[in-house]
Structure 1
Amino acid sequence: MISNDLLKKYGAEKVHLSKKEVLFKVDTLPRYYFQVISGKIKMNNFNEDGKEFIQGIFSEGSSFGEPPLFADLTYPAYAEAVEESTVWRLEKKKFFELLKENSEVHLSITKVLAGRLHYKATMVAEISSESPEHRLLKLIDYFKTHIHKIPDEEPYLVELSRQQMADLTGLRVETVIRAIKSMEKKRILQLQSHKIVR
């Protein structure tokens, strides 16, 4: 994403987060651009019953939470550390200066945001109408191709937990477990020491 040197040049600070620490909350106004240095950050919501829905999981080099920053809207989700993590935090005004003065960075951010819109549109269609197995395969294939950029012919070790897969697809964790076992029997995927390989 944005290089460390460029972020430092514009005054970005490092923020260290412990596991489950919340970086920002729903309905708060964005004041910073965030980019992961190490660890993992998830953006999530909870329904009235307290069920979590994960909007996305972001790892090293990924930014998150930009749409409300650009649109002067409040955050639609929480940002929470999945594990001990460190992120860059760049003040909004400085972030916009960086973009104005570095057109190639502006273009790369635009491409990332377009990719996320594509993911949302794809997953909304899958979640609303498809079977659990189909939803999970779409999710795994998206992470393999677009997040980790692993060629089709190479095996992909899924780093998501069963709970995270449930929260990303709107399924119950029990349904995810059953669907994974079913797909293993059908040889659609493999299990190696309880890890999914596709």
Structure 2
Amino acid sequence: MKTISCMNINPELLYIYGGEDRSYNSKDYVYREGDPALYYYQIVKGRVKQNSYNEEGKEFIHNILGENQSFGEPMLFLEEHYIMNTVCLTSVELIRLSKNNFMELLEKNPKLCQEMNACFSQRIYFKEIMLQSMSSQNPILRLKGLLNYLKSYYAEDCEQCFHVEFTRQQIANLTGLRVETVIRALKKMEKQGELKIDNRKILY
């Protein structure tokens, strides 16, 4: 499976266009659901999660992102507010670039526009596959849809090298399955050689 990671723009180019260094502590919010979309963010060090909560207060994790990955850029092309939170899982260092400067950077660097279009297209493609998988009654197909979607955020194109940084309970919440069903399905997938479980870590 060929994958395309989130945007990773040369930091020096970001600084030329006014990029700013920002530091956060674990559990800090970079932005909250409902905030206006003002910046492009690129992670230098650390990890963040993107999440939202339903009316009952149940957390839904959309993704976990790390070093050299970006976030926030899709909403810069819309006059809309963020539809999810971005929360630091560790101490985080990132570069942020204002919306106007980001648009100027893209205008003057057409190749980056092409790379961003490819990234967005890949996101939509894998998300549609995941949504189709979620309609299946087969738990393994649901898990495959989710795992392929999560792996699509990473550039490595290899077998069973992607570490799924979600708990079994989080995977259950994402797929609408019971946690016991997730555990059984993962074990079955391991027996079939579709993934590895190493010290409880899922490698896909």
TM-score range, shorter chain: 0.7 to 0.9
Unaligned runs of 5+ in 2: 1-7
Q: What is the match of residue 187 of structure 2? A: 181
- Equivalent-residue separation in structure 2 for 1:127 and 1:89 (angstroms): 34
More helix by share: 1
Measured against aligned partners, the alpha-carbon deviations of 1:107-135 in whole angstroms (never above 9, x if no partner) come to 11121111111122121222233433222
**Which sits farther off after the overlay, 42-51 or 131-140?**
131-140
- Equivalent-residue separation in structure 2 for 1:83 and 1:171 (angstroms): 28
Q: Pick from 52, 56, 59: which aligns with 1:45?
A: 52
Report the count of equivalent residues. 196
One-letter amino acid matched to 1:84? S
User: How far did 1:12 drift?
Assistant: 0.6
One-letter amino acid matched to 2:11? N
Q: What is the match of residue 5 of structure 2? A: none
- Correspondence 1:56 to 2:63: yes
Q: What is the match of residue 74 of structure 1? A: 81
Q: What is the match of residue 43 of structure 2? A: 36
Q: What is the match of residue 156 of structure 1? A: 161
Cα contact 1:144–1:150 (8 A) shared by 2: no
| Greater relative contact order (CA < 8 Å, ≥ 6 in sequence) | 2
One-letter amino acid matched to 1:101? K
One-letter amino acid matched to 1:65? G
Which aligned pairs between 1:1-198 and structure 2 lie closer than 5 A?
1-144=8-151, 147-151=154-158, 154-162=159-167, 163-198=169-204
User: How far did 1:98 drift?
Assistant: 0.6
One-letter amino acid matched to 2:20? E
Identity of aligned pairs, percent? 37
- Give the structure-1-normalised TM-score: 0.86
User: How far did 1:93 drift?
Assistant: 0.9
Cα contact 1:34–1:90 (8 A) shared by 2: yes
Q: Taking structure 1 as reference, are residues 98 and 157 closer, same or farther at Cα in structure 2, changes over 3 Å only?
A: closer
Unaligned runs of 5+ in 1: none
